[in-house]
Amino acid sequence: MALKNDHYTYRVTWSEADNEHVGLCAEFPGLSWLAGTPEEALKGIRKVVGEVIKDMRKTGEVVPEPIANRHYSGKFVVRVTPEAHRDLALKAAESGVSLNRLAVAKLSR
């Protein structure tokens, strides 16, 4: 069953262990589909996701919202040790930037 308005996040990669292409879906990390070509792997994982969603709806389970449809504020909290916090604050001060700007620069690499 193909999904109508499928906005899920798919990726196809090579599996050296299986000697095949593997289709994956970020919103359903437990699912995969092996195939001989990337196109078949994508088609297969999309079909599996459609079938799983159909079953989830039948049983009243909450279906994951596609990442592409979610709204992000641009903020998230990261917990670090007090020592790491101090070291980062010192590096930011020595660089003449805010701790936030230093963190963004490090995360963007």
Three-state helix/strand/coil letters over 25-72: ECCCCCCEEEECCHHHHHHHHHHHHHHHHHHHHHHCCCCCCCHHHCCC
The percent of residues above 70 in pLDDT, for the chain, comes to: 98
Q: What is the pLDDT of residue 4?
A: 80
C-alpha dihedral, 38 to 3 to 7 to 52, nearest 10°: -80
pTM above 0.85, yes or no: no
Q: Report pLDDT digits (tens) over 27-73.
A: 999 999 999 999 999 999 999 999 999 999 999 999 999 999 999 99
Residue 14 has pLDDT above 80, yes or no: yes
- In three-state secondary structure terms, 104 is helix
